[in-house]
Amino acid sequence: MSTIQSSPLEALHLRLGARMVPFAGWNMPVQYTSIMDEHAAVRTAAGIFDISHMGQFIVSGPGALDWLNRMLANNVAKLEAGQGQYSFLLNERGGVIDDLIVYRTAEDAFFLVVNASMIDKDFAWMAKHQPEDVAFSNESALWAGMAVQGPESAAVFAKALPGHGLPPRNGIARIAAGGGEVVVCRTGYTGEDGFEFFCAAGEGEAWFEKFIAAGAKACGLGARDTLRLEMCYPLNGNDLSPERTPIEAGLGFFVDLDKGDFIGREVLAKQKADGPALKLAALEYTDKGAPPRAHYPLLDAAGNVVSELSSGVLSPSTGKGIAMAYVPAALAKPGTALQVDVRGRLFPAKVVKKPFYKPAAAKA
Amino acid sequence: MNVPQNLRYNASHEWVLVEGDTATVGISDHAQEELTDVVFVELPALGKTVDVGDPTAVVESVKAASDIYAPVSGEVVEVNPAVEADPSLVNTDPYGKGWIFKLKIKDAGQLDTLLDAAGYESMIG
């Protein structure tokens, strides 16, 4: 696709003073006031992000469950109606095409939320394998999406949708509100409590403003990236790729090797049995230093280049340089000393346990 | 937008304060606002000789690293340790405590290529 796409909320972002940047083929707000302020709002109160660029697929029919279980790495059969799970669409080599969330909305119906940059590829890959007893559609253009995140998210929800309840963690609910039907998912990409909210594209602006009025601060993709990296949540295209498997990414928890066959299973089973040669490690600077960023070279203690960073930032919460990188398994143990090369200067770092930051909700 | 009259400006958004043969260099109010939260400043080595246009320091926001170019040729005679310790000074006081380095000017003629306040203001218009 050559043309850049616009969120249905674009006019509102401009009115709110957002700085817009191209991201994954979409013109999206990177920040409104300051990434640091927006990051802090989500860690301490509530923020709202436009996620209209993300894709929505609907899968239904008598064969829907079996088909999704062959296409996805996690076990869809574990979901009751109203529940969702994190999962992967893999290629035949076990590499990640996309990471996504699949929700079971009824016995034979599913709602998938996929990454913006992968909507067309995911859809083409799935359609290629689609059986006759499954209906499969791409509804991405019909929906506006927003994510309300932070310890005060539930209070924001209660104010904006009085009389309605939030679904439980990872759950999904359809709610009749504002003269239409909206979809609320208790999930997010920040580590904080919160929900993702989907509505008809034309209703998006009104809902976004309603959540702001209820106490959520407008936040851009800049803060979304720093928040997710503090949690070690992967970003597809940076930390996930068709050349790397979920086992290498340390996300084996979201893979079910015992559920029966699925695309990529064989490679994953072998990697799990043998141990992966590479692992996605979390690294933290041991001292102050220049911000680590994606693609900076990563060296071992002796000064040999062993990898490059897949993501990196100066953590707004801790002030420390934090990064992720695929490293040889022997170097992935917490405590391992490594060095990040920033424009020729070496900054010492060590491998740490994931995540970098423990949100209040997880501490409680 | 604050564009002090007594300074000269580079098209790449550095300001220059000329005192005798010393040029103090920082980034403009406009530049700090565009960069947003400055989280790291990399200072040049004292005594380093730079040519006009050389990347001489680096100012980093959360999202990006930006080179700061030498507005004139010269030798780095002083750097500001305060912005290394507290990079946010570049945002809060870009023309004062947020200065970055000082050059001993090699060729005063190069100063003529810089913009005056009115010229810079119309450039960032």
CATH at A315? 2.40.30.110
Q: Do B65 and A222 touch (CB under 8 A)?
A: no
Interchain pair B60, A290: CB under 8 A: yes
Question: Are B42 and A290 within 8 A, CB to CB?
Answer: yes
B-chain CB neighbours of A30 within 8 Å are: 63
Let me know whether A209 and A307 are in one domain.
Answer: no
- ipTM of this complex prediction, to 2 decimal places: 0.88
What are all long-range contacts of B95-100, with beta carbons under 8 Å and residues at least 24 apart? Answer: B95/B2, B95/B4, B95/B7, B95/B15, B95/B26, B95/B29, B98/B26, B98/B27, B98/B32, B99/B17, B99/B24, B99/B25, B99/B26, B100/B25, B100/B26, B100/B27, B100/B41, B100/B43, B100/B57, B100/B59, B100/B68
Q: Is A53 left (phi over 0), alpha (psi -120 to 50) or beta?
A: alpha
Dump pLDDT digits (tens) for A2-17. Answer: 589 999 999 999 999 9
- The CATH number given to whatever domain includes residue A25 is 3.30.1360.120
| Count of structural domains within chain B | 1
Residues A225 and A284 in one domain: no
Q: In what order do the strands lie in the sheet with B22-27?
A: B8-9, B14-19, B22-27, B101-105, B74-79, B49-50
Residues A46 and A152 in one domain: yes
Read off the CATH number of the domain in which B70 is found. 2.40.50.100
Domain interval for residue A164: 5-53+141-230
Q: Are residues A154 and A33 in the same domain?
A: yes
DSSP SS3 for A357: coil
Confidence category of residue B125, pLDDT binned at 50, 70, 90: confident
Mean pLDDT by groups of 10 residues along chain A of 364 residues: 85 97 93 96 98 98 98 98 98 98 98 97 98 97 97 98 96 92 97 97 97 98 98 98 98 97 97 97 96 98 98 95 98 98 97 93 48
Print the domain residue range for B64: 8-110
Indicate the number of domains in chain A: 2
How close A159 gets to chain B, by Cα (Å)?
A: 32
Per-residue confidence (pLDDT) for residue A2, from 0 to 100: 54
Give the chain A residue nearest B32 (alpha carbons): A34
Query: Is B33 part of the contact surface with chain A (CB cutoff 8 Å)?
Result: no
Tell me what the mean pLDDT of segment B87-105 comes to. Answer: 98
B contacts of A222 (beta carbons < 8 Å): 62-63
Question: What is the model's pLDDT at position A363?
Answer: 43
User: Residue B54 has what pLDDT?
Assistant: 97
A257, part of any domain? no
